[in-house]
Amino acid sequence: MGQNNPEFLIMPLFFQQQVNPHTRLAIWKIEEAESFFAVPLQRSITHPHKRLQHLAGRYLLRFLFPQFPLELIQIADTRKPFLENELFHFSISHCGDFAAVLVSTQNRVGVDIEIVSKKILKVQHKFASGEEMAVVQEGLAGEATQTITNRELTLIWCCKEAVFKWYGTGEVDFKNHMQVQGIRTWDGKLFQTSLCFKKEKEQVLLLQSHFFDNICLSYVVT
């Protein structure tokens, strides 16, 4: 689950982890006014909370790597932010009052953070197959429950969103191009998921996930 154990810190820095010698991960709980972040707003965002999410993500990039060149960030047609010179590989995700960032000087990365909600039950047919449900149930063997709930569905969605951001070029069918092949859990809070990505060429990716009460975080590093 990464070379170092996760380090829990006082809010608003909610979570931080050194994933490997080149890659750092953090979650920020947004409790501040816009003026706190002191980073550039690189595009027009009219919604106040979405603007805060944007600023918190940019702030975390500099928090993790102080030399990160925020002014050089570009936005692809797929809305993925990137650096043309690839000095850093990075991924940003937001949900509610949380912003998550994964940054690496060497590895390709993708991260997603989601709030567990019953709404996901209405759209599960769009991203999860019956075979994947069986894999998750098998991975839950020995847990208090083996029933697939909105929590497990959120985990699947979160993993696939992280891979979507890792891929970065869009046009990915979440149900046909990504297939969960195996899952392990540590006390129902830490998960490791193997996922077969079938876009362009077939490859198996290993994702790490953390649950913080009703928040799910998933990431991939290659």
Q: Do 216 and 116 meet the contact criterion of CB atoms below 8 Å apart?
A: yes
Amino acid at 29: K
Half-sphere exposure of 145 (CA within 13 A, CB side): 6
Q: Output the furthest CA–CA distance in the chain (Å, rounded).
A: 49
pLDDT, average across residues 29-58: 90
Strand-by-strand arrangement of the 215-221 sheet: 109-115, 215-221, 203-212, 190-197, 178-186
Distance CA 160, CA 127 (A): 8
Q: What are the tens digits of pLDDT across the range 147-167?
A: 678 999 999 999 999 999 999
Q: Could you please state the CATH topology (level 3) that the domain comprising 7-107 is classified under.
A: Ribosomal Protein L22; Chain A (3.90.470)
Quote the percentage of the chain above a pLDDT of 70. Answer: 91
- Phi then psi dihedrals of residue 191, to 5 deg: -130, 150
- pLDDT for residue 72 is more than 50: yes
Pick the range with the lowest mean pLDDT from 33-47, 89-103, 110-124, 206-220.
33-47
Beta bridge partners of 204: 196
In sequence order, what are the residues at sequence separation of 6 or more whose Cβ sits closer than 8 angstroms to the Cβ of residue 218?
111, 112, 113, 155, 158, 159, 161, 162, 193, 207, 208, 209
Q: What is the mean pLDDT of residues 170-179?
A: 94
Q: How confident is the model at residue 146 (pLDDT cuts 50, 70, 90)?
A: low
Mean pLDDT confidence for 60-67: 97
Share of the chain above pLDDT 90, in %: 74
| 138 — pLDDT class (breaks 50, 70, 90) | confident
pLDDT of 5 > 50? The answer is no
4 pLDDT band (50/70/90 cuts)? very low
pLDDT beyond 50 at 77: yes
Task: Output the average pLDDT for the chain.
Answer: 90
- Residue 57 near residue 99, CB atoms below 8 Å: yes
Residue 61 has φ and ψ, to the nearest 5°, of -60, -45
The closest of 96, 85, 36 to 60, measured between CA atoms, is: 36
What residue type is 159 in one-letter code? Answer: C
What gap in Å lies between CA 149 and CA 76, rounded to an integer?
A: 35
According to the model, what pLDDT value does residue 20 have?
98
The pTM (predicted TM-score) of the whole model is 0.90
